[in-house]
Copies of this chain bind each other. A is one copy, B any other.
């Protein structure tokens, strides 16, 4: 009773093709692919996320295309070779049972094929590591590049890397115990005072706000031209003397700031590394814009902007000073939770219960704002696509339809045609202009709305980690009574812990107030800019239509 079933299954996925439904113009520097309606593409990655796919055109160029702009036409060539003859060689079991087994087997095969096809779709994401700069010292390279998208894509932004063993001795959330049990006296230069302002506890803001200009990107090379890189010029308003930095230096700065401050201050990520097109002019411009945004935000922060490492970055005079400063910064011991020992609130000690309540509120607020910002990014993305895709196409079609009608009228040989055909042609051309205005508008206003919200999404993503450190501190203080009873700590220790928790709380309150003040400034400016541009947009179209209207004869 031997029952051998030989099933040879060769699933070959030949190619996954797609037809382009709408023209799409790549935004420079985002690894996007410009495609035209009707074009056939070969999909190279389907799971890049946030509504994008990677595709190759007939000229071999590869890039990202919005998935709504294409219609996938999967072509699968799957060959099966069944060897059923052996099945019936010793046919002595109940036949209908055999049949059922075979049908079951067929089903399994279909599932297997699906899985095989699925596996073709689930490529691992591979990203260019910006390797001209060598591997960065930090261990976050892999996740730093998790987002390939432009600001419009609304993809997830990486949070600070507090959890990646940045702080020796802590496994996940940095443990605030080290700090809580120490009695500190804040010293001269490193002291970070917290005052009571009109809005509550605030950092000490400098008289003149630091700012800088990131400009003049230049291509440099090393290793006899084998490796090349871009160097940006950064000019602070304090010295007005430019310094040069490569992306990897920004990256180094970010690392230092996270190490030193992230327990107390959310440090937003640098603009994403880029997959390809590093030397494309517009990409460089875009990265520069984003580095400028990041630097401006850092400059605006009274604690960060005043730190040694940040000052070194902006003010170093020569290579020697830079190298020495770097070494010093890397050896800085006041990192992680120790930063709180520099905080000096000149304010009455807070009750732990009060502190906890505030943290809940901050948690809730940043989470809600994060959701709201994501909602805005999602609809912004949708609207961007609508404007540059179907809407542009439709206005072009309306324009064409009017012009075609005008052309037909022109062939009538009727002597009183001229004024109408001229006016109709002008109307058609106006709608074609409107098509371009509509498609071009997102870059003028929505772009700024998306960039700012994207920046906030990044910043908001850092808060949970920062707040977690504070919540852990509360838990430690709550345990204190028990620890006193157990004789693990003294009553004195407990009082120190409560004092230190109060200090931490003032730091977070000052930071939240800094955040709120910036947020109100940023969104006020953003919305005004957006609405101004939108008003101009609608007025421009109305003006153009009025002009077209003027061409008709009044009857």
Binding site for B on A (CB under 8 A): 84-85, 87-88, 91, 95-96, 99, 102, 198-199, 361, 364-365, 368-369, 371-373, 375-376, 379-380, 382-383, 386, 390-391, 394, 397-398, 400-402, 404-405, 407-409, 411-417, 419-420, 423-424, 427, 513, 516-517, 519-521, 523-525, 527-528, 531-532, 534-535, 538-539, 541-542, 545-546, 548-549, 552-555
Q: Write the chain B residue with the least CB distance to A542.
A: B538
| Beyond A365-B411, A379-B401, A423-B527, 6 extra complex contacts between A and B, CB < 8 Å | A88-B95, A364-B411, A369-B409, A379-B397, A538-B545, A542-B542
A535 contacts B549, C-beta separation under 8 Å? yes
16 of the cross-chain contacts (CB-CB < 8 Å) are A84-B95, A84-B99, A99-B102, A369-B408, A371-B408, A373-B405, A379-B394, A379-B397, A380-B398, A391-B391, A414-B513, A414-B520, A528-B552, A538-B538, A538-B539, A538-B545
- Residue on B nearest A430 in the bound complex, by CB: B531
Q: B380, B383, B416: which contacts A199 (Cβ < 8 A)?
A: B416
> Would you call A531 and B517 a contact (CB within 8 A)?
no
State A371–B383 Cα separation when bound (angstroms). Answer: 32
Identical subunits present: 2
User: Is B391 a contact partner of A376 (Cβ separation < 8 A)?
Assistant: no
B-side contacts of A532, CB under 8 Å: 549
Give the docked Cα–Cα distance between A520 and B552 (Å).
Answer: 11
- Nearest Cβ in chain B — how far from A224, in angstroms? 52
A386 to B365, CA, bound (A): 36
Contact A394 B401 (CB under 8 A): no
Question: Is B555 touching A525 in the complex (CB atoms < 8 A)?
Answer: yes
A369 to chain B, nearest CB (A): 5
Q: Nearest Cβ in chain B — how far from A80, in angstroms?
A: 11
| Most central of A368, A391, A408, A553 by chain B CB within 10 Å | A408
Are A376 and B390 neighbours in the complex by a CB distance under 8 Å? no
Given contacts A398-B383, A531-B427, A534-B545, contact A91 B95 (CB under 8 A): yes
Q: State which of B365, B416, B524 has its C-beta within 8 Å of the C-beta of A412.
A: B365
Chain B residue nearest to A406 (CB atoms) is: B372
Q: Which residues of B contact A398 (CB under 8 A)?
A: 379-380, 383
Q: Compute how far the CA of A549 lies from the CA of B533 in the bound complex, rounded to whole angstroms.
A: 10
Nearest B residue to A525 via CB reads: B555
Q: Which B residue sits closest to A541, measured CB to CB?
A: B538
Give Cα A409 to B527, complex, Å.
14
Closest residue of chain B to A95, judged by CB?
B88
- Nearest-Cβ distance from residue A488 to partner chain B, whole angstroms: 37
Residue pair A542, B535 in contact (C-beta under 8 Å): yes
Flag if A95 contacts B87 (CB, 8 Å): yes
Please state if B416 and A401 are interface contacts (CB–CB under 8 Å).
no
A157 CB to nearest chain B CB (Å): 18
Are B401 and A390 in contact (CB-based, < 8 A)? Answer: no
Distance in angstroms from A337 CB to nearest chain B CB is 26
Whole-angstrom distance between the alpha carbons of A519 and B417 in the complex?
10
**Residues of B close to A383: CB separation below 8 A:** 394, 398
* Distance A336 CA – B416 CA, assembled complex (angstroms): 32
Instruction: A423 to B531: give the CA distance in the assembly, Å.
Output: 11
B382–A394 CB distance below 8 A: yes
- Residue among B405, B419, B520 making CB contact with A372, cutoff 8 Å: B405
- Say whether B372 contacts A401, CB under 8 Å: yes
> Contact partner of A555 among B376, B397, B404, B524, CB < 8 A?
B524
Query: Which chain B residues lie closer than 8 Å to A96 at the CB level?
Result: 84-85, 88
CA gap between A368 and B411 in the complex, in Å: 9
Residues in B whose Cβ lies below 8 Å from that of A519: 409
Report chain B residues within 8 Å CB of A394: 379, 382-383, 386
A364 to B408, CA, bound (A): 10
Contact of A361 with B545 at beta-carbon distance under 8 Å, contacts A379-B398, A397-B382 already known: no
Contacting pair A516 B84 (CB below 8 A) = no
Collect the chain B residues with CB atoms within 8 Å of residue A95's CB. Answer: 84-85, 87-88, 91
Contacts of A548 in B (CB 8 A): 531
Q: Are A386 and B375 in contact (CB under 8 A)?
A: no
Alpha-carbon distance A549/B445, docked complex (angstroms): 14
Q: Are A386 and B390 in contact (CB under 8 A)?
A: yes
Question: Chain B contacts of A554 at CB under 8 A?
Answer: 528
A85 to B553, CA, bound (A): 84
A516 to B419 alpha-carbon distance, docked (Å): 14
Task: State how many angstroms separate the Cβ of A495 from the closest Cβ of chain B.
Answer: 29
Q: Point out the residues of chain B lying under 8 angstroms from A372, CB to CB.
A: 401, 404-405, 407-408
Closest Cβ of chain B to A449, distance in Å, is 10
Contacts A88-B96, A376-B402, A545-B534 given; does A527 touch B413 at CB 8 Å = no
Chain B residues, Cβ within 8 Å of A415: 198-199
